[in-house]
Amino acid sequence: MSISFHGLSAFPITPMQQDKPDEARFAALITRLVEAKVDSIGALGSTGSYAFLTHTEREKLTRLAVSHAGSIPVLVSIGAIHLRDTLLLAEDAQKAGAKALLLPPMSYFPLRDEEVFTLYETVNRHVSVPLIVYDTPGTTQFHFSDALMQHICELSHVRSIKLPSGSPTAEEAAARMARLLPTLPESITPGISGDPTAAQALIHGARIWYSEWGGLFPRLARHLTDAALAKNEAEITRIEAIFAPFWAMSARYNGSLRVIASAAEIMNLAGPGALPRPLQGISQDDYGQLAALIHTHQPA
Amino acid sequence: MSISFHGLSAFPITPMQQDKPDEARFAALITRLVEAKVDSIGALGSTGSYAFLTHTEREKLTRLAVSHAGSIPVLVSIGAIHLRDTLLLAEDAQKAGAKALLLPPMSYFPLRDEEVFTLYETVNRHVSVPLIVYDTPGTTQFHFSDALMQHICELSHVRSIKLPSGSPTAEEAAARMARLLPTLPESITPGISGDPTAAQALIHGARIWYSEWGGLFPRLARHLTDAALAKNEAEITRIEAIFAPFWAMSARYNGSLRVIASAAEIMNLAGPGALPRPLQGISQDDYGQLAALIHTHQPA
C-alpha cells in the first residue's frame, strides 16, 4: 500500500467526442495535472463521468492516466449499479495500475445500511490496493450514518473517506466532519470534496482535498491547498475570491461537471460535445459570462 | 403501432442466479402472466432489474419474454445513464420484438428539464414503436413539471405515461393526475404505478395499471383491475385487503422489489440469491411473516 493520501487530489473531466472518450484531450488534461504538481489524480470520478462509460473504456482510460501520470498516483472510481460489475472493475483498475479505488454506494434503488456494508465488505475481500469510501449523496441518494461509516472504516483496505462538504448544508457537513474524525481509526485519511468549503475543512482536520475544479485549474487549487495547509488565511481569501464565481455558477447548475466542461471548451482543453449525453452544457448567457471570467483571471 | 394500452400491465422480476439472469425461472414467470390473461407484460422494468443488466442480457431476456408471451404485447425499459446506450437498447428491443418502450430519465447526476426533453426528443426520432414516459422520481431523482410532461406528450411516438401514485404523497399524486389528464393529447393513455392507489386511479381516469405485485400475483391483480374498471367498490375493498399486508411490507422496505423477490422464493418461483447484488432480501422475521401470509391467502 504505497500511496499516501494527502494534499490535493485533482479530478479531471473525461472529455467526450461523438459519444466516445476523447483520449488525446484526456491525456493532455492528465499531463496538465502532473505539471501543476498535484499530489494525486482522481481519474474517472463523478467529474470524470465514470458512470457513463463501459468497462472497456474505463480500463483504457485508467491505463492512459497511469501512463501519463509518471510518479503521481492515480485513483479511479469502481462504482457500478451491480456489485458483480464493481468487482470486475476493481480487477481491471488494479491491473491497469490504479493505486487506490474510490467506491461510492452507487445504486438504482437507494440502498439500505446492511447492503452498503456488505458492498464494502465484499469489495474489501477482493482487492489488494487501498479503498476510499466515496460519500456522494447527491448522486447515490445514500446517506451514511456515523456508525456505518465507522464500521466500514474498520475494514482492512479502507484508507480514506471522501466526505461531501455541503450536504445538507455547509454548517451541518462541517459539524459532521468534526464529530466523525476523532472516532475513526488512525489509518484513515479524512478527505473533503465540495470545493467551496475545502480550505476550511483542511484547516480543521481534513488531510486531502478531492477537488473537482482542481482537475481544470490545478495550479490555482495547488496554491489554495498549500495556503490551507499553512493556515495562511490572507492567501486563502485571495485565491477563494478567484474561484468564487466559478463555484457560484456550479451551484446554480446543481453540480460542477456541466460548468467545468464548458470552461474546458473555452480553454480549448475539450471540444464541443464534451459532456456525455443527455447532459448539456450551460446556457449561452452563462457561457459568455464564463468566457469573460476566464479571460479576466486566466486561471490555470 | 399495434399495441393498445389498457388494463393490467404486469411487471415480473428477473430472478438472478449466481449473478446471472435465471432464464428458466424468468420464462416461467412470463408463462404465469400469460395464463392469468394480463393485458401486457412489462419485462425489464425497475422491478425487472433492467438497470443492473448488460445490453446482451437485456436483449436476450426481451427475446425470451416475447417468445413466451404469445399474443400478449411485451414492453421493456430502455433506460440507461448514457443516452448512446439508450439508443442502442431501443434498437435491440425493437429487433427482439418489444411492442413498446418504457423510457425513464435515468441518470447519475439529476437531470435538468432541457436535458430530459432532449432525451425524449432524441429517442423519439430513432424509434418506430410507441414510447411510454416513465416517471419514477424514487430512482431517477427527477421530477417532471406538468409543462414538461405536456411538451413530451406531444412527441410523435409517445403514447402513454406511467405516473407514480405515491409521490410525494398519495393525495398530491392523485391531485396531479387529475390536473394533468385533461391537458394531455387524446393519443396518450394515462397509466399509474404504485399498487396501493392503482384501483382508485383507474376509477378516476387512469386507463392502465403498470403493476409491480401484478408480476407475481397476476390473477389477483387481474381481479383488482377488472373490479376497478367496473367501479365495483365492494370487490375492490375485498381484493385490496388481501394485497394490503404485502404492500405494507413493501413500503417498509422503501420499494417492492426486495419483498417481491423474497415472496417469489417462498413460492418457489425464484431461487435463493434472486436479487442483483448489492440488493438483499428482507429480514428473517419479515421472511417468516411473508411466508405465513402466502400460506394463508395463497395469492396467485
> Could you tell me the pLDDT band of residue B174, with boundaries at 50, 70 and 90?
confident
**Chain A residue closest to B142 (CA)?**
A139
Contact B109 A46 (CB under 8 A): yes
CB contact under 8 A, A276 and B51: no
Instruction: Answer whether B12's CB lies under 8 Å from B27's CB.
Output: no
DSSP string, chain B: ------EEEE-----EETTEE-HHHHHHHHHHHHHTT-SEEEETSTTTTGGGS-HHHHHHHHHHHHHHHTTS-EEEE---SSHHHHHHHHHHHHHTT-SEEEE----SSPPPHHHHHHHHHHHHHH-SS-EEEE--HHHH-----HHHHHHHHTSTTEEEEEE-SSSS-HHHHHHHHHHHGGGS-TT-EEEE--GGGHHHHHHTT--EEEESGGGTSHHHHHHHHHHHHTT-HHHHHHHHHHHHHHHHHHHHTTSSHHHHHHHHHHTTSS-TT-SPTT-----HHHHHHHHHHHHHH---
State residue B173's pLDDT score.
84
Highest mean pLDDT among A172-176, B182-186, B261-265: B261-265
**What confidence tier does A1 reach under pLDDT thresholds 50, 70, 90?**
very low
Testing the interface with B: which of A18, A47, A58, A81 to mutate, by most B Cβ within 10 A? A81
Tell me what the mean pLDDT of segment A13-23 comes to: 97
Q: Tell me if the bond preceding B168 is cis, omega within 30° of 0.
A: yes
Q: Which residue of A has its CA nearest to B109?
A: A139
The model's pLDDT over B262-281, given as tens digits with 9 standing for 90+, comes to 999 999 999 999 999 999 99
Q: pLDDT tens for residues A186-199?
A: 999 999 998 899 99
Give me the pLDDT at residue A81, please: 98
Closest CA to B72 of B125, B122, B32: B32
**Residue A3: per-residue pLDDT:** 64
Could you tell me the three cell numbers for A65? 492516466
Closest to A84 (Cβ–Cβ): which among B19, B81, B280? B19
Q: Which residue of B has its CA nearest to A104?
A: B108
Facing B108 at nearest CB: one of A52, A105, A110: A52
What pLDDT was estimated at residue B169? Answer: 83
**Taking residues B8-18, what's their average pLDDT?**
98
Give the pairing type, strands A131-134 and A158-163.
Answer: parallel
Query: Residue A278: is the preceding peptide bond cis (ω within 30°)?
Result: yes
Q: Which of B82, B117, B257 to mutate to test the interface with A (most CBs of A within 10 A)?
A: B82
d(CA A172, CA A290): 30
Among A238, A194, A229, which residue's Cα sits nearest to residue A212?
A: A194
Instruction: Check CB contact of B184 with chain A, cutoff 8 Å.
Output: no
Select the residue of A111, A118, A139 nearest B109 (Cβ to Cβ).
A139
| CB contacts, 8 Å: B51 with chain A | 81, 108
Confidence of residue B3 (pLDDT cuts 50, 70, 90): low
pLDDT in tens, B194-232: 889 999 999 988 999 999 999 999 999 999 999 999 999
Q: Select from A249, A250, A235, A268 the least CA-distant residue to A32.
A: A268
Q: Is residue B95 over pLDDT 50? A: yes
8 Å CB contact of A280 and B83: no
What DSSP letter does each residue of A147-210 carry, written as one string? HHHHHHHTSTTEEEEEE-SSSS-HHHHHHHHHHHGGGS-TTPEEEE--GGGHHHHHHTT--EEE
Q: Which residues make Cβ contacts (< 8 Å) with residue B4, sequence separation at least 6?
A: none
Question: For chain A, what is the radius of gyration of the CA atoms?
Answer: 18
Distance from C-alpha of A229 to C-alpha of A269, rounded to nearest angstrom? 29
Bond from prior residue into B185 cis (ω within 30 degrees of 0): no
pLDDT of residue B171: 86
In whole angstroms, what is the distance from residue B299 CA to residue A285 CA?
59
- Say yes or no to pLDDT of A212 above 90: yes
**Interface contact B277-A108, CB threshold 8 A:** no
Name the residue facing B83 among A81, A257, A277 (closest C-beta). Answer: A277
* Mean pLDDT taken over chain A: 95
At B231, give phi and psi (nearest 5°). 50, 40
Answer whether A108 sits within 8 Å of B255, measured CB to CB. no
Confidence of residue A119 (pLDDT cuts 50, 70, 90): very high
From B46's Cα to the closest Cα of chain A, the distance in A is: 9
Closest chain B residue to A82, measured at CA: B52
Q: Do A278 and B84 touch (CB under 8 A)?
A: no
| pLDDT over 70 (residue A2) | no
pLDDT at B194: 85
- Complex-level ipTM: 0.95
Which helix (H) or strand (E) segment holds residue A224: the answer is: helix A218-229
Amino acid type, B28: A
Across the range B174-197, mean pLDDT stands at 91
| pLDDT at site B170 | 82
Looking at residue B187, what is its pLDDT?
Answer: 92
Contact A109 B254 (CB under 8 A): yes
According to the model, what pLDDT value does residue A160 have? 97
Gap from B49 CA to chain A (nearest CA, Å): 9
Q: How confident is the model at residue B254 (pLDDT cuts 50, 70, 90)?
A: confident
Contact status, residue A185 vs residue A153, Cβ threshold 8 Å? yes
**pLDDT tens, residue by residue, A47-80:** 999 999 999 999 999 999 999 999 999 999 999 9
Probe site for chain A from B16, B55, B81 (most A CB atoms < 10 A): B81
Per mean pLDDT, which range of A4-8, A150-154, B12-16, B221-225 is the poorest?
A: A4-8
Which residue from A109, A45, A20, A82 is spatially nearest to B104, judged by alpha carbons?
A109
Nearest CB partner across the interface for A278, out of B119, B276, B278: B119
With an 8 Å Cβ cutoff, is A288 touching chain B? no
* A82 in contact with B, Cβ within 8 Å: yes
Q: What is the mean pLDDT of residues B5-22?
A: 96
A280 touches chain B (CB under 8 A): yes
- At B282 the pLDDT is 96
Question: What are the structural domains of chain B?
Answer: 7-235 (3.20.20.70)
Distance CA A197, CA A214 (A): 13
- ω into residue B110 within 30 of 0, thus cis? no
Contact B278 A115 (CB under 8 A): yes
Report the percent of chain A where pLDDT is more than 70: 99
